Amino acid sequence: MSINITGHTGLTGLLGSPVSHSISPAMHNAAFEALGLDYVYLCFDVDTSNLKTAVEGLKALGVKGFNCTFPDKNMMCELADELSPAAEMIGAVNTVLNNGGRLIGHNTDGIGYMMSVKDAGYNIIGKKMTLLGAGGAASAICAQAAIDGVSEIDIYSIKDEFWNRAVHMVDSINKKTNCKASLYEFNDSTSFKASVASSAILTNGTSVGLAPKQDNCPVTDLSVFRQELIVSDVIYNPKETKLLRLAREAGCNTFNGMYMLLYQGAEAFKIWTGMDMPVSEIKERFFA
């Protein structure tokens, strides 16, 4: 792959920390090249302590748009000039469009996740989900799953800075969708075991198990794993987290966050360029 930088090249990229593991640059740059678009996608290691400064700089430079990943998704809501309905409901932004100097915050994570479930060969519509986490990615998954028709979602989270937002989101889901959402503390082991037992899918929406801390696992009670349970992880580095390995060894069906990344990226690509990402080509090159 060759990238020709010109005086008109549009800048896109990824803000977060860490970001050195991301395959987003390869994916987006290949898509730009395939469609003959004069864009480039780069990674910038930016955490919440300097996110505001970085965003102001990118805005001043006339960036076309950018993605946000952990830990910047929630703070980006405060920095955007405008939020899409999905981003406002979720309380997190993972895609930003610079629209004539106004930064419009979107969230494509939930769409990406639900597409990845379908791509993995599963149908969870009308079924129950147990979801770990209430941060940016988890909130997006929860909201989109409810919108798409998942019947019930039990969310398990620690009482951190995301807790109050999760309470609000659960209330919004219960009022605005036909899904029943409930929020529990992460250490409520009794209800967690009962929740997983009645769920079709267990999803890790946290960063627990992300490289370089791949020895960590958000589930300690391995008795919750059963053969008919689907276990998914938003993490894609490592490709098989400890959670997925233990679930697989217990006979569960598993899949990681690779295709969530692909499909959320395809939505972001369209927001920036107005064109469809050549998903089949990108999938074959980077996700096979």
Q: Which residues are part of the catalytic machinery?
A: 73
Which H or E run includes 160?
none
The token pair that represents 69 in the structure block: 């990943």
**183, 157 contact by CB (below 8 A):** yes
- How does DSSP classify residue 222? G
Cα–Cα distance list, 254 to 93, 114, 126, 232, 257 (Å): 27, 15, 20, 6, 10
What is the CB neighbour count within 10 angstroms for residue 217?
17
43 contacts 24 by C-beta, under 8 angstroms: yes
Query: What is the gyration radius of the CA atoms in the chain, in angstroms?
Result: 19
- Rounded Cα–Cα distance for residues 164 and 83 (Å): 20
